[in-house]
Amino acid sequence: MTIQIITLFPEMFEGVLNTSMLRKAQEKKLVDYGLINLRDYGIGPRKQVDDTPYGGGDGMVLRPEPLVVAIEDARSKVSNQESEVILLTPRGAVFTQADARELAKCSSLILVCGRYEGYDERVAKFVNRQVSIGDYVLTGGELPAMVVADAVTRLIPGVLGGETSAELESFSDGVAKEHPHYTRPEQFRDLKVPEVLISGNHEAIADWRKKHSV
Ligand code: ADE
């Protein structure tokens, strides 16, 4: 899968995409992340990407041309594939595990990060969906894009190892929240590991885990 991210702040992604599972997913060639700097598509010598809002008001609004040309360029980089273009915005539909599963089946995702006070609404015509990660407002779409990239990448077969992803898929009705986990020591302060987990009774352990999954 290819995940291209259009952002004014590509440096924000370096740590997240190059650590732990997301790094391993790249090393295993299961995912290829591409960072596209929106500034490169800015207008004029000052590479302007934003302007004042029509109708007045505070703040700046991202102009449509840099965003749309960046999207078109990203699409053309993977022109042999159908791209799903996702605009991260607090006005979008709230992102769910079912969405992550659906997106994990795509071969090309393009995540578009909004910034500043907003983006020119005409950009919406050039994307397939608008996604919010929750009912709160962040300073931009970068953290939401990282959330989507993480949630999708871990569902690509082979990233976590077949067992875990198969287990997640087996829950048909939304989110599979695993049972609680314990490791050594058996007693920490006055807190003990549930007896059943050290019983060696595999059937009882499986029952306990099932009961404690959400
Ligand atoms: N941009 C700002 N806030 C956001 C949110 N909650 N979800 C997606 N994009 C955003």
Where do the structural domains in the chain lie, given as residue ranges? 2-153, 179-211
Residue 121 pLDDT: 96
pLDDT in tens, 133-188: 999 999 999 999 999 999 999 999 999 985 555 455 545 445 668 999 999 999 99
Alpha carbon of 193 to ligand 1 centroid (Å): 39
Region of poorest pLDDT, from 12-16, 47-51, 170-174, 178-182: 170-174
**179-211, which class in CATH?**
mainly alpha
Q: What is the DSSP secondary-structure string of the chain?
A: -EEEEEES-GGGGHHHHTSHHHHHHHHTTS-EEEEEEGGGG-BTTTTB-EEPPTT--SS-EE-HHHHHHHHHHHHHHTTTSPEEEEEEEEEEEEP-HHHHHHHTT-SEEEEEE--TT-B-GGGGGG-SEEEESSSS--SSSHHHHHHHHHHHHTTSTTSS-HHHHHHHHT--SS--PPPP---S-SEETTEEPPGGGGS--HHHHHHHHHHT--
Residue 163 pLDDT: 52
Question: Measured from the CA of 134, which atom of ligand 1 is nearest?
Answer: 6
pTM of the model: 0.93
Beta carbon of 66 within 6 Å of any ligand 1 atom: no
Q: Which CATH number fits domain 2-153: 3.40.1280.10, 3.90.226.10, 3.40.50.720, 3.40.50.1220?
A: 3.40.1280.10
Question: Measured from the CA of 135, which atom of ligand 1 is nearest?
Answer: 6
